[in-house]
Amino acid sequence: MNAAARLVNQGVLSKSFLASLLLTQAQIILCTLVFALLASGFGIIYTTQETRSLHAALQHNLMDQSHLHVQWGQLLLERGTWTMQARIQRIAEQQLDMVIPDHKSVVIIRE
């Protein structure tokens, strides 16, 4: 006889004790459902945290976009200032000694 059979014969282990150690189908289903519930809960926690962090990143990017839009507007104003006709004419006259020709010195060529 093996050791378990001897213990059963001696009364140390009863058949009801051995049967109680085996899980019933209902207990297996219950354990599976508890595990699924815990996994689902942790999944919800992870998803919620990920959503919060992505939302914070989105808000940060929107703020950066707003600042860049303001900077772009300022650069457009600066470009407009640098390309004003009066400024270009003044620089041409002062730095390059250019002058606007009078109408008598202008020659029109017609084909």
Please write the tens of the pLDDT for every residue from 54-96. 999 999 999 999 999 999 999 999 998 888 888 888 888 888 8
> 64 or 19, which is more confident?
64
| Side chain identity at residue 62, one-letter code | L
- The burial class, CB within 10 Å (0-12 / 13-18 / 19+), for 94 is exposed
Q: What number is the average pLDDT over the span 92-110? A: 85
The rounded distance, in Å, linking the Cα atoms of 18 and 47 is 43
Per-residue pLDDT band for 9 (boundaries 50, 70, 90) equals low
Give the residue carrying structure tokens 């001696």.
10
The rounded distance, in Å, linking the Cα atoms of 54 and 96 is 57
Model confidence, pTM = 0.51
Per-residue pLDDT band for 31 (boundaries 50, 70, 90) equals very high
Torsion of CA 75, 79, 82, 88, to 10 degrees: 180
Residue 70 is predicted with a pLDDT of 97
